[in-house]
Amino acid sequence: MGSSLGGVVLHVSDDLYSDDPGASPCADAFRVGGVCVQLEGARHDDVTLVPSLVPFRVENWVPDITIQVQWVAELSPASGPRLFDSGSVWRLHEDEAGFRFDFSAPVLGARPYKKLVVDRHFSQATLQMSEGAFAGFPRAAEPLEYPLDELLIMHRLTQEKAIELHGVGIVGPEGASNLFVGHSGAGKSTTARLWTTLHEVEILSDDRIIIREDKVREDEAREDANRIFMYGTPWHGEAAFALPGRAPLQRIFVLEHGRGNVLTRLSQGQAVAELFARSFVPFHRHEYVDSALAFLHRVAGSVPCYRYSFEPDERAVEKVLNFRD
C-alpha cells in the first residue's frame, strides 16, 4: 500500500520470523528520510518494529545501516571518553572502534539496559540487550524504541547531504510543498491542524522533517538535476501527523507568533542561521557541525526562505496560498 507522495508501506512475510534458535536469523527493515535500517536477530521480538516505525517498513532495499541484535546476561557501563550526556536515558561514548550509546533507567537497574555500538560511518552496528535488566519486565523490551531510532538516523545524516529539522511539512493543495520550521511552541502543530481543516493536504510530520539533496528520478525529468526534498518522519508532535513520504521542497517559512501575517524574505546567511537553530545536529564533533552548515547553505541558496509572523487562523493559510515570490 502506497501514498501519493511515494511513501510505501510494505509488509515482511511471517516466514522471516522464527523463535527457533536453530532457524535462519530474523530480519526486518524500515526507511526514514532516505536512510534504510535493517534489523537482524535470532528471535521474532529482536526485529519487531515499534508501532511508530511500522508505516515506514520496507522490503527489497539495500540497507544503509545494519544492526545485529544480541542478548547478553548483563551490561557494564562504558569506560571510554564520554562525548555527551542527555541528562535522561542515554549517554554517548567513543572508543577505537567507533561510538557507544548506553541506555539506562532507574526502574531497570543501575547498569545499562541496552547499548548500541556503531562504526564511525554509522553503517554497521551491534545492539546488545541486557537479560538481567529485563528479567522482571518480559514485555518491556523493544530494541529500537525511541530515542534510539532517531539518534541512529540523526547521526547517519551526518554522512550524507541531509539534516533533520524542527518543522511541519505540508504538501498541497495542487501539489505545492512548504516547510514551516519553528522551535517548540512556535505553532507547528497549530499550523498542521489549520491546513488540514481548510484544505485537502498531506502532512509529512508536524514536528520533525528531514531534508536532503536527492537526485531527481528518471520519470521526473528536469535533466536529472539535484533537488532538495523533504521527508516525513515517525517523530510527530501534538497533532500526531507522520507519513513515510517525500516531496520536492518549494519554500521554507520560519514560524513565529505575531500580528498581520507578515512574510519577510531572508537572506541566505539569515536563512542558514535560522535553520541551524532549529536543526538536530550532533554537536560532539566539529565536522558534523561544519557539514550541516555547508548543507544548509546549499538549501538556503536553492529554496526561498521567509520569516512568517502569523496569527493562528484561516487567514494565515490563505496568505501562503496567495503569496507570490
Prediction pTM value: 0.88
- Write down the pLDDT at residue 44: 87
First to last CA, the chain: 36
pLDDT averaged over every residue in the chain:
88
pLDDT of residue 225: 54
In this structure, are residues 163 and 281 in contact, taking their beta carbons and an 8 Å threshold? Answer: yes
DSSP 10: -
Distances (CA, A) of 108 to 74, 89, 112, 137: 12, 11, 8, 9
pLDDT tens-digit map of 47-75 = 999 999 999 999 988 999 999 999 999 99
Per-residue model confidence (pLDDT) at position 139: 65
DSSP assignment string, 117-172: EEETTSSEEEEEEETTTTTT-TT---TT-TTHHHHHHHHHGGGTTEEEEEEEEEE-
Percent of the chain with pLDDT over 70: 88
- Identity (one letter) of the amino acid at 228? I
264-273 core/surface letters (b: 16 or more CB in 10 A; e: else): eebeeeebbe
Residue type, 159: Q
| Percentage, residues of the chain above pLDDT 90 | 77
Give the pLDDT of the chain (325 residues) as one tens digit per residue: 333 333 322 223 333 333 444 444 799 999 999 999 999 999 888 899 999 999 999 998 899 999 999 999 999 999 878 999 999 999 999 988 899 999 999 999 999 999 999 999 999 999 999 999 998 876 677 888 999 999 999 999 999 999 999 999 999 887 789 999 999 999 999 999 999 999 999 999 999 999 999 855 555 555 435 689 999 999 999 999 999 999 999 999 999 999 999 999 999 999 999 999 999 999 989 999 999 999 999 999 999 999 999 999 999 999 999 998 8
| Cell numbers placing 26 | 530474523
Q: State residue 1's pLDDT score.
A: 33
What domains can be seen in the chain, in order of their start residue? 14-158 (no CATH), 161-321 (3.40.50)
Report how far residue 235's alpha carbon sits from residue 51's, in angstroms, rounded to the nearest whole number.
Answer: 12
Q: Tell me what pLDDT residue 222 has.
A: 52
110-119: burial string, b at 16+ Cβ within 10 Å, e else: eebbbbbbbe
Q: How far is CA 100 from CA 87, 88, 123, in A?
A: 16, 16, 14
For 167, the grid coordinates are 518543522
Taking only the tens place, the pLDDT of each residue in 82-141 is: 999 999 999 999 988 899 999 999 999 999 999 999 999 999 999 999 999 998 876 677
Alpha-carbon distance of 209 to 179, in angstroms, equals 8
Helix axes 314-321, 188-198, angle to 10 degrees: 80
What are the grid coordinates assigned to 112, written together? Answer: 545499562
Amino acid at 289: V
Query: Is-contact 110 133, C-beta < 8 A?
Result: no
